[in-house]
Amino acid sequence: MKWLCGLVLGVLCAVSVASAAVSEKSSGFQDANTSYRTGDYAKAASLYEDLIRKEPSVAVYYYDLGNADVRLGKLSAAILNYEKSLILDPRNEDVRRNLSHARDLLEYRVEDSRNWYLKATDAVLRYMTQREAVLGVLAAVFVFLLSGIIHFLSGRGLFWNAWRKGVFVLLLLAGLVAFGKHVQRDLIRDAIVMQKECEARYGPSEHDQVAFRMGEGIKVFVMDRREDWSRVLLTNGESGWVKNAEIAEVAI
Amino acid sequence: MRKNLFVLTIFLSLLVPMSLQAEEVRVTAAVNKRAVTVGEEVRLSIRVTGQSMNLQAPRLPKLDGIDTYYTGRASHITFINGVSTSNVEFSYTLIPQRPGNYHLNAIEVSVGPKVFQTEPIAIDVTGSQAPSAVPAAAVNSQQPMPSSMPQNVPQEPPVVSSGGDNNIFVQAWVDRRSVYQNEQLLLTYSLFTRYDTRYEGFEKEAETSGFWIEEFPMEREIERETVQVNGRRFVKADVKKLALFPTSPGSYTIQPGSLKVSIREEPQGASAFDEFFSDSFFTGGSFFARRQNRLLNPPPIQLTVKPLPDEGKPEGFQGAVGSFRLTASLDKDKVKQSEPVTLKLVIEGEGNIETINRPKLPTLTGFKTYDADTNAKLFKTGNVIGGTKSFEIVFIPKEEGSAFIPPLEFSYFDPRKAAYVTLRTPNFPITVEHSDQSFQMPEELTGKEMFQKNVKLEAKDIRYIQERVSESSALFDRIYRGFAWGDLFLLVVFAALWLKDRQERLFSKDEGLRRRKMARAVASANMRKLKKRSSSSKPEDVGLFFEELERAMTQYIADKWNLSAYGVTRQSLEEVLANHFGPEDPHLKDVLELYSLCDESRFGKGSIPQASKKVGMRIFQETVNRIERMKR
C-alpha cells in the first residue's frame, strides 16, 4: 500500500513539474510576442533566443526571432533565422515571403547561374525536411515489408510481381530523395555571411589574394572547412575562402 | 513507355503557362474572299489584339502578280478589370494582276521588342477579267476632314543622279526641314525616268528610327507628269508617301532606303517618248519584254526636330501636336445614387491621333470614376494624317443632390501658330436622386465596359510574427516513430519468413537434408514427451515409455544418416553407430544396452525398475549430444 501511495505521489509530482514547464514556456512565448507587439524588438529578440535555447526545434521561434531581427536592422541574423525556420518548416509561406523581403533589402545580390536541373532539384528538396524525406523511405519500406510478409504467409505467386516491383522502385526513389536531402543538409552546408563586408580569398590565409567581396546576408554553400577558414561556393559559381567568424552555418 | 509519357506530360504542363504568357498579344490576318477574278479587289485585314500598345503598320511581303495597297488603320481600346485591351486593324487592298494560286506568306508584325507572324493565306485567282475596280486606296477619304494644312507642298528642285545613268533617278524629299516634335512631316519618293519603267517596290526600307510612321495609301494607277530637269524631259511619279512624326527633338538623318525598278532593255527613241510612257509606265503593259532591274538609292535627308516650347505649356498638356477640336456629351443628366452616367469625349483633327491620351480627370470626391471605352479612327486625306479619338468615362455619383461633372481640359500644340491651345468641355450639371441601394457594379457594365479596381500592393513589409506553436510536429513525431518501430518489427518478421521460405525450398529439393536438419528438433520434442511419460509409475506406462524411447532413438539415428525409419534394423543401427563412434566406444555399448532395456520392457512387463527410465533418458540425451557434436 505504501509503495502504491509513493507511486501516485511521484506521478502527480512529475505531471505538475511538466505542466509548470509547459506553462513557463508558453508564458515566455507570450511575453516575447507582447514585446514584439509593443515595439520592444530587442527584448522580444532576447526572449525568442531564450526559447530557442530551451527548445531548438520549434520553427516559429526562429521565424519570430527573424522578424525581430528585421525590425532591429540585423538583416544577416534575420536571414539566418528565417533559413533555420525553413529547415524545420520548409513550406511556411510567411517565412518564405519574409526571407525574400529581407533579401530584397540587402546591399549585395548573387546571380543564380546554376543549371536548371540543379535549381529544380534544390527547390524540390527545399520543400521538405530531412525527417520528411526519411519518413518517405520508412513508409516505402513499411509497405514493401508488409507486402513481402503477406506473400510469405499466403505462399502464393511470385515474390517479384508487378506490384512489389513498383513498391521497390518507389522505395528506391524515396531513398534517392532522402540521400539528396542528406547531401543538401549535411554535405553541402548552407551558411549566411554575417559581416557587413566579407572578403573571399583564393586560399585559406590572409596572404592569399581577394577573389571577391560579399555583403551581409548573402547565402553561401560551405564546401570545405578548416580550423579558421571555410571554402564557400556562391550560386553564380564563384568560390573562395572566408574566415569562419564571418559566416554562420544554417544548422539547428 | 508509360514513364516517358508521364515525363512528357509533366514537361508539357510546365510549358503551358509560358505559352499562355506569350499569347498576350494575338495577331491574325483575314481576307474577305479567297477566290477572285483578275482585277477584283480583295480586302486584307491584319488585326492585333492585346494590351494597349503603339504599332506601326506592318509591311506586306512581296507578291509577284498581286498589287497591294495600304488603306488605313482603325483602333479600339477597351478597359476591362483595370487592363486596357487594344484592338488595332490594318487594312490593305490586294488586286491580282494574273490568274493563279497565290500564297500570302506570314506577315510580320512588330509589337514592342517581339515580332509576331500571321498565318499564311491562300488566294485563288481565276483568269476572267473582272470589271476594272477602283482600289480602296484611301479608305475613309470620303469622310469629312477639316484640312487646313497645306495639301501641295513645294518640292525642292530635283538633283539628277550622279550614278552612271542619268536617265533615271529617284528623289526622296520632305515637305519641310525643320518641324516640331510630334508634328507631321511628309516624306515622298519621286521617281524620274526617261525609260519604259516599272516600279517594283522597295528593296530596302527607309531607316526612320525616332519617328512614328504612317504610310499613305497610293492610288492603283500612279499619277505621273512630264517635267523638265536640267533641260531634259522626264516622266515623274510619286511612288510612295510616308507621314513621319518625330518622337523627340534633335537632328536626324533619314536613310531613305533603296527602290527597285525594272526598265525595258531596248533603247527608246525620243520620238516614242510620250507613246511608251502612256502605255507601259507602271502598268505592266510590256510584261513579256526583256527587262533589266535597277536599284535606285536616293541620298539621305537631314532635318531638325525642334522641342516644344516650355513657355505657355498648359499643366494638362500630354504631347498632342496638330490642330484638334473637342466635343463632349453626357448620356443623362438625372440619375439615382450609384447609377452610372457616361461622359463621351471626342477629339478630332489633324495630327497623330493614335498618341493622344485621355484628358486628365480632376479629383472628384462625390463620384467613382472608371474609364470605359476608347475608340480611334485614322484618316488620311491628301497629305495629312488625322482622325477622331473618343473616350468614354463612367461617373457613379455617391451622394444625392445637385452635382456637376467639371470641365475637362485638352491641350495641344498648334505648330502653325507656334502656340499651345487648350480646349474645355462644358460644365455638365446633373441631378442625383436618393437611392437606398448601396454601391455595387451596375450589372450591365460588369466585366465588359466597367472594370473593378485592382487591389494593389501599396507597401512592402515583412509578415507578422506567428503567435501559436504548431502541434502538427508532435503528430509527425508519433507517425515517424510508429513507422520506424513498425519497420523494425516487420523487418524481423520478414527476415524470419524469408529464411523459413528459403529453408523450405532447400528441403523440398533434398528430403535427406530436411531429416538431418530437423533430427535434433524432432528428438527434442520426443524427449519432452518422454519426460512427461516418465513421471507415471503405472506398469503399462513403463512399457509404453520404453517403446517410445526406442522409436525416438531409432528415428533420430535414421534421420541423421538418412535411413528409412521403418525399414531400419537393429543390426544396421549398430553398424552405423559403430562406424561413427568406433566399435569399442563405451557409449556404443550404452546405446546397445538401452535397446536391450527396451526389448526387456517389451517382453518382461513391469519388471523394469523406475530408475531405468532415467538411465534410458540419459543415454538418449547423450547420444543426441554426441552425434550433434560429431556433425559439428
Contacts of A148 in chain B (CB under 8 A): 494, 497-498
User: A26 with A93, same domain?
Assistant: yes
The dihedral region occupied by A217, where left means phi > 0, alpha psi between -120 and 50, and beta the remainder, is: left
Do A21 and A98 sit in the same domain of this protein? yes
Q: Do A60 and B468 touch (CB under 8 A)?
A: yes
Q: Residue B271 has what pLDDT? A: 40
Residues B613-617: contacts with CB within 8 Å, 24+ apart?
B613/B534, B613/B542, B613/B545, B613/B546, B614/B534, B616/B545, B616/B546, B616/B549, B617/B527, B617/B530, B617/B531, B617/B534, B617/B549
Q: Does B468 touch chain A (CB under 8 A)?
A: yes
A81 and A144: one domain? no
Q: Which three cell numbers stand for residue B223?
A: 499619277
The answer to whether the Cβ–Cβ distance between A152 and B498 falls below 8 Å is: yes
Global pTM exceeds 0.80 = no
Question: Among all residues of chain B, which has the CA nearest to that of A30?
Answer: B467
Q: CB B535: neighbour CB atoms within 10 A?
A: 10
Chain B contact present for A85, CB below 8 A: no
Distances A87 to A121, A125, B560 between C-alpha atoms, Å = 16, 11, 62
Q: pLDDT value at position B7?
A: 46
Instruction: Report the residue from A88, A138, A149 with minimal CB separation from B497.
Output: A149
- Domain assignment present for A6: no
* pLDDT value at residue B135: 35
All domains of chain B in start order, with CATH: 28-129 (2.60.40.740), 168-306 (2.60.40), 322-433 (2.60.40), 509-631 (1.20.120)
Query: Does residue A120 sit in the same domain as residue A132?
Result: yes
Q: Give pLDDT, residue B265.
A: 65
Residues of B in contact with A139 (CB under 8 A): 483
Which residue from A33, A101, A132 is facing B462, i.e. has the nearest CB? A101
A70: domain CATH number is 1.25.40.10
Shortest alpha-carbon distance between residue B502 and chain A (Å): 10
Looking at this protein, which amino acid is placed at residue B488?
L
Residues A25, A88 share a domain: yes
- Say which DSSP state A186 is in: I
* Residue A145 in contact with partner chain B when CB distance is under 8 A: yes
The last residue of a domain, from among A74, A104, A134: A104
Cβ–Cβ below 8 Å for A70 and B462: yes
Q: Are residues A93 and A24 in the same domain?
A: yes
Contacts of B7 in chain A (CB under 8 A): none
Query: Is A59 in contact with B484 (Cβ distance < 8 A)?
Result: no
Among A41, A60, A145, A172, pick the best mutation site for testing chain B contact (most B Cβ within 10 A): A145
Query: Which residues from chain B sit within 8 angstroms of residue A77, using beta carbons?
Result: none
Identify the domain boundary among A157, A187, A217.
Answer: A187
Whether residue A20 lies within 8 A of chain B, CB to CB, comes out as no
pLDDT bin (cut points 50, 70, 90) of residue A95 is very high
- Per-residue cell: B478: 508519433
Please give the C-alpha separations between residue B556 and each of B560, B565, B568, in angstroms, as whole numbers.
6, 9, 12
- A-chain residues near B468 (CB < 8 A): 60
The pLDDT, as a whole number, for residue B286 is: 45
Whether residue A73 sits in one domain with residue A38: yes
A109 in a structural domain: no
Burial of B592 (0-12, 13-18, 19+ CB in 10 A): middle
Q: Output the domain CATH number for residue A211.
A: 2.30.30.40
User: Which residue of chain A has the CA closest to B498?
Assistant: A152
Helix (H) or strand (E) holding B607: none
Task: Test A64 with B466 for CB contact under 8 angstroms.
Answer: yes
Kindly determine whether residue B479 and residue A146, on different chains, have CB atoms separated by under 8 Å.
Answer: no
In a domain, A12, yes or no: no
Distance from CA of A68 to the nearest CA of B (A): 9
What is the span of the domain harbouring residue A31?
Answer: 17-104
The confidence score (pLDDT) of residue A8 equals: 61
**Cross-chain residue pair B463–A94, CB shorter than 8 Å:** yes
A9: in domain: no
In a domain, A5, yes or no: no
What pLDDT, on a 0 to 100 scale, did the predictor assign at position B443? Answer: 57
Average pLDDT over every residue of A62-83? 95
Q: Which among A57, A101, A132 is the nearest to B460, CB-wise?
A: A101
Q: Do A132 and A203 share a domain, yes or no? A: no
Number of folded domains in chain A?
3
Q: Beta strands B35-38 and B121-129: pairing type?
A: parallel
> What ipTM does the predicted assembly reach?
0.81
Residue A233 lies in a domain: yes
- Distance (Å, rounded) from C-alpha B170 to C-alpha B191? 4
Those residues of chain B that have pLDDT short of 70 are 1-23, 51-54, 71-72, 76-85, 128-164, 219-221, 265-289, 438-456, 565, 604-608, 610, 631-632
3-class secondary structure, B259: strand
A28 touches chain B (CB under 8 A): no
Of A63, A102, A104, the CB nearest to B466: A63
Q: What is the pLDDT of residue B145?
A: 33
Residue A7 lies in a domain: no
A175 in reach of chain B (CB within 8 A): no
Which residue in chain B is spatially nearest to A99 when comparing CA positions?
A: B462
All residues of chain B having their beta carbon less than 8 Å from the beta carbon of residue A141 are 487, 491
- Residues A135 and A206 both lie in one domain: no
The answer on A120 and A57 residing in a single domain is no
User: How many Å apart are CA B121 and CA B105, to the nearest integer?
Assistant: 7
Mutate to test the interface with B, among A96, A138, A156, A173 (most CBs of B within 10 A): A138
pLDDT digits (tens, 9 = 90+) for A113-137: 999 999 999 999 999 999 999 999 9
- The number of angstroms, rounded, from the C-alpha of B52 to the middle of its chain's C-alpha atoms is 19
Interface membership of B475 toward A (CB under 8 Å): no
Domain co-membership, A85 together with A135 = no
Q: Tell me, yes or no, if B439 comes closer than 8 A to chain A by beta carbon.
A: no
Look at the block and give the residue holding cell 509533366: B10
* A116 touches B: beta carbon within 8 Å: no
CB crowding B354-372: b at 16 or more within 10 Å, else e:
bbbebbeeeeeeebeebbb
Regarding whether A210 and A172 lie in a shared domain, the answer is no
Residue A71 belongs to some domain of the structure: yes
Q: Which residue of B has its CA nearest to A134?
A: B480
User: What residues of A are in contact with residue B461 (Cβ under 8 Å)?
Assistant: 101
Name the domain boundary from A141, A169, A187.
A187
